[in-house]
Structure 1
Amino acid sequence: MINIYFLDQYQRDQIGFTYVINQLEVITPLGDKLRKNIKPFNESSKHLLIDELNNIESIINNYVSSKQLFKNIERLFCKIKDISNSLIRCENGSPLDDVELFEIKSFALVIYELRECFNELNLELHLKDINFISLEPVINLLDPEGKKLPTFHIYDKYSDKLKEIRNKKRSIEKEIFTSSDETSITSLKEKRLSYVVLEEEEELNIRKFLSNNIKNYIDIIRENIRSVGKLDFLIAKSKLTITLNGSRPNISDSMYIKIIDGVNPEVASILKKKSKIFTPVTIEIASGTTVITGANMGGKSITLKTLVLNILLTQMGFFVFCNEATIPLLDFIYFISDDLQSVHQGLSTFGAEIMKLKQVLAHSKNKNGLITLDEFARGTNPKEGSFLVKSLCKYLNKLQSISLISTHYDNIVDSTMVHYQVIGLKQLSFDSLKKSIDLNKTHSIEIIQDHMNYRLERVSKENNVPKDALNICILLGLEEEIIEIAKNLYNQSLEEGD
């Protein structure tokens, strides 16, 4: 079950978390359980998070130099089945059937080989909370002939009585095969049936005996099950980190977040298919309100999703997709955008935002976390919207929680808040960009996107607000009369200090 204080499933899909989780190459059903039921760490389990990050780092440091040994471990993982239900049945006193006994024997044999590979890697000295314990007694119990073959049946060696019954049954079967007298064959078949019943009774007694003995090792078997799942999950996390060039996050003791060159793998993958490159995100935020402004084509939403994704990954015990990251353990992470699931359930965009915001604010009164609002109040009229956003920024600025708000409204930030702007088009030669568009008007949007600088810059109140929205209208060839009216209104607002 998903912890809704760390985004619901829809929001995890939005920010690219589900994409990352689906990239994990877990092999065993035990590792897959951990992947599906991943839970966030918190302040009280910070030491466990540190252990998790140390474990990933140890595997990464050893993976390339010991690739064949890891391949051997992964090959053994392919043989693992989830025997948890069989253990429960055994614990409850039910005799296990031949298939269940076969699977437990196979598991014990895999653990035998896994221990050898694991010991050869010397990872037991570096990986915490992974402990493969010998299941030799279980192997001996289920492999009385000592052949260590991945097969199982009720062996004659378990019982002299069983051996005698089977010998007599086989002898009768030979007589049936060689006899040509129908009356004699009928009599022999009845006799054989009585031995089949005796054989089944004795086999049941043996399965009861084996099940009762296995019960003595259930805790050890479960410890091995847990270790298999955890190692599988850790290796998957480590391989993903190597593949996507992740790095270890620093865990902050204060409400302070720093991301340097953060990447969103899902968006980066989409852009790569279009032969485009993801622009990394660099930002520092702390308690109170931070505002990001910029035109609607400026990538503010992707910036927020990239930030939230990497913070959530840290909280879940992953390495992050940044060159450097400093992130605290939070009590909650909220991400509110105008693409809320509630909209698809019939609630208006603005109504859905307000309902979610009420929940966020109630939780933030006694907890510290991250509140991220993407273009809040975009769905209402601009004047009211700007007043609401400004009011909300002032309120959130008093909290210990970290709040990050993207908006295209002007005059939202005051001197007590941190302000970032998307650089956008302001560093470009406007005339030369317009010439490029005039020569290829059918691809005007793509040309603007290719030249847009999606990086953030920290700005002061004295910085001029970029006119990207107005410039985009000019570049796309909006009627000149409309452009002139907009310019006049813009200049007028500057003169009035609005």
Structure 2
Amino acid sequence: MYISIETAKNLDLDYIFNNLTVYTPYGEAYKKAMKPYNSNEKKRIEQEYERIEVVSELIEGQRYDFVEMRNLFKHIKDLRLTFTRVKEGEILSTTELFEIKFFINILKRIDINLKKLKWEIPEDIRPIQIPHLERLFDPQGTETNTFYIYDEYSKRLGKIRKDLREIENKIQKKRKDLRKKVETDLNVRLRSNGEITVNKDNIDIINKFKDYEFLNYSVETYMNITFKTINTLDIDNLSRELQELKVLEAEEELKVRRTLSEEIKKYHGSIEKNICALGKLDLLVAKGYHAVGFKCVKPKIIDSKGLYILNGRNIKVEQSLRKSDREFTPITVELHRGVTCITGANMGGKTVSLKTIGFLLAMAQYGMFVPAEEMRLSLKEFIFLSVGDMQSTDKGLSTFGGEILKIKEAIKESDKEGLILIDELARGTNPKEGYALSKAIINYLKYKETITVITTHFDGLADEKDIKHLQVRGLSLEDFKTISQKIKEEKQGIEMLHHYMDYRLIEISDIKEVPKDAINISRLMGLDEEILRDAESILK
């Protein structure tokens, strides 16, 4: 299914993905790679729906287990570069080995968590433990997340480290003995690091320290001089031996890291499968939470060409209205190949209805549940939306020219099963030519395979029997009287209209003019009555 960048933007698809919360870098990669399913992928999309359905039910029944799982997801780092280094035979650093150990332990915990779920998890989304690597990273069997080049990896390494500890102990003892000797000889108290600081005014003590064989000048300030014990020959010899052993330790640790890296490489295939499974599982759980959070339902794919939505909601608009204590009016619509016109006054919700249709279809074909009570659809090959000001200054096109250029592209695809949505067709030109062009485009599209939905103010575009005509209910006479009275009594403004405007769509079966709620709304807003009566007279 093809959706242009501009159509995706105008349908607010970014709002869907921003509310699809994944926690692993691998889930994020799969989310960014999401594409709508094509018309020949019925089995694949239905399989995805079934998985979301299972996960959604499990989330509601075993919510704590999913909270625990997602908390584990949060601790997963992106190690793809590290695993590429493994695959290419490079030797990993101690930090990289620690990160892999942590990853392996997380896999184990996720595997244990998944076993709690009443779900026969599909293999491609099922992360599994790698017991050999668990043992490899934990030779002492402590089951901690920390990592160290353990002595168990190499007998020679264990011997070197034992010798290192012995020499370090000898050096420490000799330095302690030296410090005691200095303190006894000079009747002073040294710091634990063998230093002592003297005020520059104490000339005798300074000279005494300078002449003492085991003290040496270290550093001075404008007030003090610091002296420090010097190493004896024994300490120097032991220090050289210590450095030689540290070189041997580093060489042996390198050998161990090489061996560990080679061992990890043997399981590169299993690691890659787990990375893919984690990403897919993370995204699937995100879809499940999205479905539960926004009260979505599973779409049903049908073979007959059409689209049916029962009480569908545009969740972006719905959330925005909720902030001002207003409710979104769900739309119900059934569409088939050919043209459907939606008529109604300004502020009647035509544009929102149009975008909601495209929004829900896009969600469904992206393999997600939809915010509606029911939705049936045949898979489409494209969605096209023309809405708003498409003036293009860089190409020197007017609003009307930009609109026609876009519609021309959509018309080329009209022999395919798709969805064309056009808001206020030909609104950018004079009414007479706009009507003529609109009528001609409708006549051209009404026999095409695609579903076309057009909102309009022009009378007569939906008069023919082969054009489906939907109309926004708008304001009833009773509502008009109520609003008029409240405005007089409470001096409330235009925001009151939203509480009384009926945004539902009704099908018009007989020839009928576009409703004239605009005049009523103008009257409510206090436009001069003489002007309004003249407008009504002109209409007649």
1:146 equivalent in structure 2:
141
Q: Any idea what SS the aligned residue of 2:459 has?
A: coil
1:167 equivalent in structure 2:
162
Unaligned runs of 5+ in 1: 492-498
Is the CA contact 1:258–1:326 (under 8 Å) kept in the aligned structure 2? Answer: yes
- Alpha-carbon distance change, 343 to 184 in structure 1, aligned in 2, over 3 angstroms: farther
With the length of structure 1 as denominator, give the TM-score of the two structures.
0.91
- Structure 2 residue identity aligned to 1:120: K
**C-alpha distance in structure 2 between counterparts of 1:197 and 1:364, whole Å:** 74
**2:453 is matched with which residue: 404, 413, 430?**
404
Cα deviation for residue 311 of structure 1 reads 0.6
Cα deviation for residue 418 of structure 1 reads 0.8
- Alpha-carbon distance change, 343 to 29 in structure 1, aligned in 2, over 3 angstroms: farther
- Structure 2 residue identity aligned to 1:6: I
Q: Any idea what SS the aligned residue of 1:404 has?
A: strand
Deviations 1:353-389 (A, max 9, x none): 2232233223445x32111111232222222222222
With the length of structure 2 as denominator, give the TM-score of the two structures.
0.84
2:284 equivalent in structure 1:
234
Q: How does 1:114-125 map to 2 (within 5 A)?
A: 114-123=110-119, 125=120
2:178 equivalent in structure 1:
none
**C-alpha distance in structure 2 between counterparts of 1:339 and 1:220, whole Å:** 52
Cα deviation for residue 487 of structure 1 reads 1.6
- Alpha-carbon distance change, 197 to 128 in structure 1, aligned in 2, over 3 angstroms: closer
**C-alpha distance in structure 2 between counterparts of 1:343 and 1:428, whole Å:** 47
Question: Does structure 1 residue 262 correspond to structure 2 residue 326?
Answer: no
**C-alpha distance in structure 2 between counterparts of 1:340 and 1:99, whole Å:** 53
Question: Does structure 1 residue 482 correspond to structure 2 residue 531?
Answer: yes
- Structure 1 residue identity aligned to 2:401: G
Question: Does structure 1 residue 178 correspond to structure 2 residue 173?
Answer: yes
Is the CA contact 1:292–1:404 (under 8 Å) kept in the aligned structure 2? Answer: yes
**C-alpha distance in structure 2 between counterparts of 1:59 and 1:468, whole Å:** 46
1:496 equivalent in structure 2:
none
Q: Any idea what SS the aligned residue of 2:126 has?
A: coil
**1:73 is matched with which residue: 69, 74, 80?**
69
**2:32 is matched with which residue: 31, 36, 60?**
36
Q: Any idea what SS the aligned residue of 1:423 has?
A: strand
- Structure 1 residue identity aligned to 2:3: F
Q: Any idea what SS the aligned residue of 2:128 has?
A: coil
2:245 equivalent in structure 1:
195
Pairwise CA RMSD: 2.2
Q: Any idea what SS the aligned residue of 2:527 has?
A: coil
1:211 equivalent in structure 2:
261
Deviates more, 1:392-401 or 1:278-287: 392-401
Q: How does 1:358-397 map to 2 (within 5 A)?
A: 358-365=408-415, 367-397=416-446
2:3 equivalent in structure 1:
6
- Alpha-carbon distance change, 347 to 135 in structure 1, aligned in 2, over 3 angstroms: farther
Q: Any idea what SS the aligned residue of 1:179 has?
A: helix
Question: Does structure 1 residue 279 correspond to structure 2 residue 329?
Answer: yes
Q: How does 1:327-346 map to 2 (within 5 A)?
A: 327-340=377-390, 342=392
2:501 equivalent in structure 1:
452
Is the CA contact 1:338–1:376 (under 8 Å) kept in the aligned structure 2? Answer: no
Cα deviation for residue 282 of structure 1 reads 0.6
**C-alpha distance in structure 2 between counterparts of 1:249 and 1:469, whole Å:** 37
Is the CA contact 1:54–1:127 (under 8 Å) kept in the aligned structure 2? Answer: no
Question: Does structure 1 residue 137 correspond to structure 2 residue 132?
Answer: yes
**C-alpha distance in structure 2 between counterparts of 1:346 and 1:86, whole Å:** 50
Q: Any idea what SS the aligned residue of 2:348 has?
A: coil
Deviations 1:237-278 (A, max 9, x none): 112211211111111223200001001111111111111111
**1:49 is matched with which residue: 20, 45, 50?**
45
Q: How does 1:310-321 map to 2 (within 5 A)?
A: 310-321=360-371
User: Aligned pairs, how many?
Assistant: 484
Deviates more, 1:443-452 or 1:356-365: 356-365
Is the CA contact 1:258–1:284 (under 8 Å) kept in the aligned structure 2? Answer: yes
Q: How does 1:91-130 map to 2 (within 5 A)?
A: 91-123=87-119, 125=120, 127=122, 129-130=124-125
**C-alpha distance in structure 2 between counterparts of 1:308 and 1:456, whole Å:** 16
- Alpha-carbon distance change, 161 to 342 in structure 1, aligned in 2, over 3 angstroms: farther
Deviations 1:187-224 (A, max 9, x none): 33333222222222221221111111111111111111
Cα deviation for residue 168 of structure 1 reads 2.2
Cα deviation for residue 325 of structure 1 reads 0.4
**C-alpha distance in structure 2 between counterparts of 1:202 and 1:349, whole Å:** 73
Is the CA contact 1:333–1:369 (under 8 Å) kept in the aligned structure 2? Answer: yes
Is the CA contact 1:51–1:128 (under 8 Å) kept in the aligned structure 2? Answer: no
Is the CA contact 1:16–1:264 (under 8 Å) kept in the aligned structure 2? Answer: no
**C-alpha distance in structure 2 between counterparts of 1:284 and 1:344, whole Å:** 39
Unaligned runs of 5+ in 2: 176-230
**C-alpha distance in structure 2 between counterparts of 1:167 and 1:361, whole Å:** 81
Cα deviation for residue 326 of structure 1 reads 0.6
**C-alpha distance in structure 2 between counterparts of 1:311 and 1:128, whole Å:** 29
**C-alpha distance in structure 1 between counterparts of 2:453 and 2:477, whole Å:** 25
Sequence identity (%): 38
Deviates more, 1:412-421 or 1:472-481: 472-481
Deviations 1:407-444 (A, max 9, x none): 11111122211110111114535444333333344x33
Deviates more, 1:229-238 or 1:167-176: 167-176
**C-alpha distance in structure 1 between counterparts of 2:269 and 2:395, whole Å:** 47
**C-alpha distance in structure 1 between counterparts of 2:437 and 2:448, whole Å:** 17
**C-alpha distance in structure 2 between counterparts of 1:28 and 1:409, whole Å:** 51
Cα deviation for residue 343 of structure 1 reads 6.9
2:467 equivalent in structure 1:
417
- Structure 2 residue identity aligned to 1:32: E
Cα deviation for residue 167 of structure 1 reads 2.0
Deviates more, 1:279-288 or 1:381-390: 381-390
**C-alpha distance in structure 2 between counterparts of 1:338 and 1:300, whole Å:** 13
- Structure 2 residue identity aligned to 1:456: L
**C-alpha distance in structure 2 between counterparts of 1:343 and 1:411, whole Å:** 33
1:495 equivalent in structure 2:
none
